[in-house]
Structure 1
């Protein structure tokens, strides 16, 4: 009968531990109760001439203790995860009102009262250095408004700004534009990701998805904390 108890406990542990939640308190309690019932039954019905030795008993008790340990470990991990989520939400709340760079290709232009041109910054993320980076600004119709070089850029994240002028040197009209970036190193294309500027309006704590969400307004919507590439 010893082998029956061993395989039952092991199979239960394997099936319960394969999920993300593991054993809950109810399952663990039921498993311990069934285990003790089987163990007592085994001791009562063992062969007097070939009784179960201490090593077998110790091994089986160790298995049920493992079940209890898993339950306590799951409870501890859940508590730690809750504390981590709360800490991340508190830290993320410090971003409210700040400007950030997130993956995107939008640049906004507006003219001030005295004629000055204001544009939102944009950024690039390069996996490796580039000896030349070219920026192309297009309007909502896909027409190229301006195209210019920014020169060499190191790997990593860098932020830039468009002066708000067309290729003819005239001020572009107010509105939203798209920015495209091309990067090369000795004539070979370098992978590049374009980033746009947005302001954090609010923070939503991690829910079932496990991700803290940042509200960037109606234009940019919501992003997760890991989408933030740079804080400006």
Structure 2
């Protein structure tokens, strides 16, 4: 076997069979080849062939999964990922032609509960640290509670001016506290898809952060 000889399981099997036939043709009639040794060698070749076929199947499956993940990630561009944070922005909503309208809206945000809440209370604070809105969300089950299109008004029903706001959440009933306390989530726009160092797809957010496709966000809006 030269340096350019095939090394696939099929090539090895063919080479082995040629050597085996040659050995049988030239064996000593008074000391024939041990049949158990021949059977063992054949079994080893079959094992190598089976492993090669399995590797090929797994490689094909991995390629299909990677392509599926990339397609899923691409479909998320332009949507919002809910990640840990306690901010949102109030700004003028765009018209159909892209110009700013007179109507303001809030960017998405949300809440994550690891345990049910008895009486969930949400407080919105402006840039000056003043609480401008208190919302009673009442009893809520465990899970992610997205707020994709909240109308930004204060406690008197007046529209909130454009700007950045923070919010905090607490369970007034006391059930979701301590390690089960509510986690605030902020919505950040997904602007592109990248390949991470481990080969898996990642999502680049408008704030410059990159998160993994799987497990990087609590929800997508």
Q: Normalising to structure 2: TM-score of the pair?
A: 0.66
Aligned partner (choices 99, 102, 111) of residue 83 of structure 2: 102
In structure 1, the partner of 2:40 is 59
RMSD: 4.0
Unmatched 5+ stretches in structure 1: 1-25
Classify 1:72/1:185 alpha carbon distance in 2 versus 1 (closer, same or farther; 3 Å): farther
Aligned partner (choices 68, 80, 84) of residue 87 of structure 1: 68
In the alignment, the residues of structure 1 paired with residue 67 and residue 138 of structure 2 have an alpha-carbon distance, to the nearest angstrom, of 43
In structure 2, the partner of 1:176 is 164
Q: Normalising to structure 1: TM-score of the pair?
A: 0.63
In structure 1, the partner of 2:110 is 123
1:181-217 Cα distance to aligned partner (Å, 9 max, x none): 334665452343322212222223x454232122221
In the alignment, the residues of structure 1 paired with residue 49 and residue 38 of structure 2 have an alpha-carbon distance, to the nearest angstrom, of 17
Aligned partner (choices 212, 215, 219) of residue 204 of structure 2: 215
CA contact (8 A) 2:120 2:137 kept: yes
Q: 1:196 aligned to 2:191?
A: no
Classify 1:214/1:83 alpha carbon distance in 2 versus 1 (closer, same or farther; 3 Å): same
Unmatched 5+ stretches in structure 2: 1-5, 94-99
In the alignment, the residues of structure 2 paired with residue 170 and residue 140 of structure 1 have an alpha-carbon distance, to the nearest angstrom, of 17
1:81 offset after TM fit, Å?
1.0
1:153 offset after TM fit, Å?
1.0
1:165 offset after TM fit, Å?
5.3
In the alignment, the residues of structure 2 paired with residue 154 and residue 195 of structure 1 have an alpha-carbon distance, to the nearest angstrom, of 16
In structure 2, the partner of 1:22 is none
Question: Counting strand residues as a fraction of each chain, which structure ranks higher?
Answer: 2
Question: Counting helix residues as a fraction of each chain, which structure ranks higher?
Answer: 1
1:18-70 Cα distance to aligned partner (Å, 9 max, x none): xxxxxxxx8767xx59x95xx97x99999x769633x3422332123212322
In the alignment, the residues of structure 2 paired with residue 145 and residue 174 of structure 1 have an alpha-carbon distance, to the nearest angstrom, of 15
1:117 offset after TM fit, Å?
4.2
**Count of aligned residue pairs for this structure pair:** 198
In structure 1, the partner of 2:142 is 155
In the alignment, the residues of structure 2 paired with residue 132 and residue 139 of structure 1 have an alpha-carbon distance, to the nearest angstrom, of 23
1:91 offset after TM fit, Å?
2.7
| SS of match in other structure, 1:97 | coil
